[in-house]
């Protein structure tokens, strides 16, 4: 779980983190170009400012040892996602993972393969208990 003093990323910050988690440490130019390809049109200066703010907030680290600054996430992807999911389940489903799963599967048609994967996961959990 994320440490309590690490701020929760905004939606725009999560988009930047997703690029860095997927591609590894990167320059602002690379992140901006990737966002423009994958998400929406974003100005370079907006991405630069957002990433500078993320450094100040403790979400990113910046390597200034070369001409082009390279940014990397401070927290691991799974650690961040786990903390965000825990907060979401607590606030929206009173901490009930089963309520979330039932709603999720009820709202979205899961493929047979997805259902089989969920069953396998639940079976593994049963064996660990």
Q: Which residues make beta-bridge pairs with 62?
A: 71
Per-residue model confidence as pLDDT tens digits over 53-110? 999 999 999 998 888 899 999 989 999 899 899 999 999 999 998 888 888 888 778 8
DSSP E strand stretches across the chain = 60-63, 70-73
- Domain-wise residue ranges, the chain: 1-95, 96-129
Cβ neighbour number for residue 45 with a 10 Å cutoff: 10
Query: What does the pLDDT read at residue 27?
Result: 95
Q: What is the pLDDT of residues 23-53, one digit of tens each?
A: 999 999 999 999 999 877 899 999 999 999 9
Residue 104 to residue 106: CA distance in whole angstroms: 5
Specify the pTM.
0.75
C-alpha span between 42 and 44 (Å, rounded): 6
pLDDT of residue 50: 96
pLDDT score recorded for residue 6: 67
At residue 40, the pLDDT reads 79
What's the pLDDT score for residue 28? 96
Please answer whether residues 22 and 31 qualify as being in contact, where contact means their C-beta atoms are separated by less than 8 angstroms.
no
Architecture of domain 1-95 in this structure: Orthogonal Bundle (1.10)
Mean pLDDT to the nearest integer, 103-129: 86
pLDDT value at residue 33:
96
Could you tell me which of 87, 19, 22, 9 has the C-alpha nearest to residue 55? 9
* Dihedral class, residue 26 (left if φ above 0, else alpha if ψ from -120 to 50, else beta): beta
């Amino acid at each position: 779980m994320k440490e309590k003093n690490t701020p929760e990323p905004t939606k725009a910050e999560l988009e930047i983190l997703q690029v860095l988690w997927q591609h590894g440490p990167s320059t602002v130019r690379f992140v901006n170009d990737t966002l423009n390809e994958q998400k929406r049109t974003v100005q370079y200066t907006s991405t630069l400012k957002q990433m500078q703010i993320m450094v100040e907030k403790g979400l990113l680290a910046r390597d200034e040892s070369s001409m082009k600054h390279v940014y990397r996430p401070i927290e691991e992807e799974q650690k961040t996602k786990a903390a965000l999911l825990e907060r979401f389940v607590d606030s929206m489903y009173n901490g009930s993972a089963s309520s979330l799963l039932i709603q999720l599967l009820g709202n979205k048609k899961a493929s047979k393969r997805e259902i089989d994967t969920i069953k396998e996961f639940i079976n593994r959990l049963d064996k660990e208990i």
